[in-house]
Structure 1
Amino acid sequence: MDPVRNPYAPGAGQRPPELAGRTRQLDAFDVVLERIARGRPERSVMLTGLRGVGKTVLLNHLRSAAISRRWGTGKIEARPDQELRRPLSSALHMAVREIAGSHRCPDRVEEFLGTLKSFALRATADKGMRERWQPGIDVPAVKGRADSGDIEIDLVELLLDASSLARDVGVGIALFIDEMQDLGAADVSAICGACHELSQDAAPLIVVGAGLPHLPTVLSASRSYSERLFSYHRIDRLDRSSADRALIAPADREDVKFSAEALDALYAAADGYPYFVQAYGKATWDVAAASPITEEDVRVAAPRAEEELAVGFFGSRYERATPAEREYMRAMADLSADDGPVATAAIASELDRKPASLSPARDGLIKKGLIYSAERGSIGFTVPHFGQYLRAQSD
């Protein structure tokens, strides 16, 4: 098959040719947007799931839905080594610029931008970096609001002011935060506090976050009421019909078909994970000689897809781990044939070590986003089939 016409797109956050199996989340977000447009209170939204299930792709689709309604939007990717204030300033600046042209009072917009500039400059004021970084807001800073230095107080004031601008225009603002589990504790608390105030005010501003499965635990550790503060959506594997659609629909547009046996083999190989569906679909297309694509094509292509996954999806993550962290992950893999969560006590027993001595390795892996605390006393891989990959490496 012509590789130039290959419709499949495995990649980090890369938009697939067919977004299959996410209708429920898209429809639910449309309801959120419509309720806010009518002045009804709504909760902010959190997407959680393993890596490779399409959280970032879905986050971008939700942003497109907000943009189509003329909302102001901004997006950031959280990082463990970066405080929230600076990237959020840039994202909110972008969102406000998108709605500013429709506001009847330019002075109101300029006043808000002055407040935003003061909020942003607090990111560097205490670190002696004011001369090295400026937020790119071409108005004088307005003192006395959102600039106390307390991120929670400042964020509440800033977002309430931003929502007031949006309400003047008759639209909303949505801030999208990817990898949200990597935010620091103070920033998580600030977001929870701000979202609480916004929902009580029925303000037309929401936060849409995406993160690993333990994101709800991160939020609840900050605020006990976080389970009622956000609308949670667990993003999981595709069911069989959705996985088939993700393969069939793009191929149909190229006048290419799959045999039923080929679809069986592809679902067995990809296990419904969207990233794997794209990886196996791409490799199979490239080796197939003609339509319909057959089970034999899948068999021949599978080693090519697995080699690509071993290097780009699994191997690159494994290489980031220290020797002690790799030992910890291999013990996890040996203890879980289905790659599900493993008791930390069992890992200590497997390695014949005291649990406390393994804490540095466990904490390092959590910080690197390779494992997560599934529940108290257990640990799981953030990457699907990672245990399977590790077991194959040791064979």
Structure 2
Amino acid sequence: MAGGVPIKNPYRPGAANTPLFLAGRESQERILRAILRGAPEIPANYRITGVRGVGKTVLLKHFEEVTKRELNWAVGRLQLEPRHNREDAIVGVLHDLLLDVQAQVSRTESFRQKTEAVISGARSLATMAFEDVTVSLGGSANSKESNLAADLLETARIAVRSGRAGLVLMLDEAQVLVDDKDRDGQHPLSLLIAAVNTLQEQQVPVALVLCGLPTLIANLLKARTYSERMFREEEVGRLTRDQTREAFLRPLDGTGKEASEDLLSAVMDDVEGYPYFVQLWGAELWDDAVDTSLNVLTADLLKGLRESIFKRLDHDFYSPRLDSLTPAEQDLLLLTGDCDYPPLRTADIHNVTSRKQGNVNVLMGRLADQGVVYRLQKGLYEYTAPNFHEYLIRRKSRSMWT
């Protein structure tokens, strides 16, 4: 305590909560800095993928701060939702986002109103000049693609005139954008990629950062074959043991509390390098240490807390993924806990359920659409949340207890 005021818990578990210390992501930041240094002569596009719990959203928020404050780019960051997986929806939500970016860089509400009028007028033009470059929005581009390109172009214009290097569009949960197989269907991801590519080919300073689950990789390739060459690719995974140690210890600096070596070893074994777990374990240990007036966090303290920690983990991190599903989807997902893993094989699922093969395939497809599992290849899946299989086993064990 300082001046009678208790020190707040230095750990921050929860969706997208930024930790006091971001460990083990220096290489990803270096890549971001490098690609933006090379823009617009070299198109700056960054694709980041990983499972749940590795800190993708936290990393994207960190990127936003670095890009704005240190690299002097205007930034529009948005977390996409399934409702955005339509052409008109993605164009509409990005239009609103870009108007907000324009207002931020122009710093006056009146200027925002003027630029909105400019964009409306610009959409009727076949071409628009960016300084000494003319960017064509005609040809085969559909009207929605042209509208999005116009919004991006005008925002980049305003950013540059306001002294920024350009515009960076950062989209989280980008795996929700999936093009229809039908040529006449919805193609929101293709539309986004094509609009950005149209501008980048003319060296307009527009950059795109997409962040999402591993399914984003296949979605991009199916949308536009050239996307493989368009993006710098990075998979965000678990922290190393040294990085995990630092992520756990650094928040304790200046608090008057410390961790014993036996506790550190036990925590690292439990959390397996997942940043979300580091924060959860730390938060629970801190609260108990405060309640018991302990200044040294020990393995004995963790031993007494481990059951309650896993209950909180299950309630906060895993259970919501089940609660949002239909009863049929829940039943099938729970049964996958009886299968060997990894990976999850549909052949094994058929052995533990009475459902017909076609029904199992449909349900697994729906689970993939909702981001609970992702498809490795035909008949093979993995969960999007780390250690989800162990959770299903714990859940079944608890339900059997009487």
Q: TM-score, normalised by structure 1?
A: 0.84
SS at match of 1:17: coil
TM-score normalised by the chain length of structure 2: 0.83
Report the residue type matching 2:48 in the other structure: L
What is aligned with 1:162?
155
Pair 1:250 & 2:243 matched:
no
Q: Structure 2 matches for 1:43-122, cutoff 5 A?
A: 43-68=44-69, 69-82=71-84, 83-100=89-106, 112-116=115-119, 118=120
1:264 and 2:265 are equivalent in the alignment: yes
| In the alignment, structure 1 residue 375 sits paired with structure 2 residue 377 | yes
Q: Residues 73 and 164 of structure 2 are in contact (CA less than 8 Å); yes or no, is this contact kept in structure 1?
A: no
Distance 1:170 1:281, change over 3 A: closer
Equivalent runs, 1:1-395 vs 2, <5 Å: 4-36=7-39, 39-68=40-69, 69-82=71-84, 83-100=89-106, 112-116=115-119, 118=120, 142-145=122-125, 150-168=143-161, 169-185=163-179, 186-288=187-289, 289-337=293-341, 340-395=342-397
Note if contact 1:41-1:200 (Cα within 8 Å) is conserved in structure 2: no
Corresponding position of 2:129? none
Counterpart of 1:5 in 2: which secondary structure?
A: coil
Distance 1:232 1:115, change over 3 A: farther
Query: How far does the alpha carbon of each residue in 1:209-246 deviate from its partner, in whole angstroms, 9 at most, with x for none?
Result: 21111111111111112111111211111110111111
**Structure-2 change in CA distance of 1:196 and 1:94 (3 Å):** same
Gaps of 5+ in 1: 119-140
What is the alpha-carbon distance in structure 2 between the residues aligned to residue 226 and residue 352 of structure 1? 41
User: Is the Cα contact below 8 Å between 1:72 and 1:97 reproduced in 2?
Assistant: no
CA contact 2:260–2:298 (8 Å) conserved in 1:
yes
Q: Is residue 48–residue 235 contact of structure 1 (8 Å, CA) maintained in 2?
A: yes
Query: Which moved further from structure 2: 178-187 or 7-16?
Result: 178-187
**Which stretch shows the higher mean deviation, 245-254 or 375-384?**
375-384
Report the CA distance between 1:70 and its aligned residue. 3.0
- Number of aligned residues: 364
Instruction: Write the distance in 1 (CA, Å) between the matches of 2:151 and 2:93.
Output: 14
Give the RMSD, CA atoms, in angstroms.
Answer: 2.6
Shift of 1:67: 1.0
Looking at structure 1, the residues matched to 202 and 244 of structure 2 have their Cα atoms a distance apart, in angstroms, of: 41
1:4 to 1:176, Cα distance in 2 relative to 1, 3 A: same
Counterpart Cα distance in 1 of 2:340 and 2:26: 32
Work out whether residues 48 and 210 of structure 1, in 8 Å CA contact, stay in contact via their aligned partners in 2.
yes
Paired residue secondary structure (1:154): helix
Gaps of 5+ in 2: 126-136, 180-186, 398-402
1:19 aligned counterpart, secondary structure:
coil
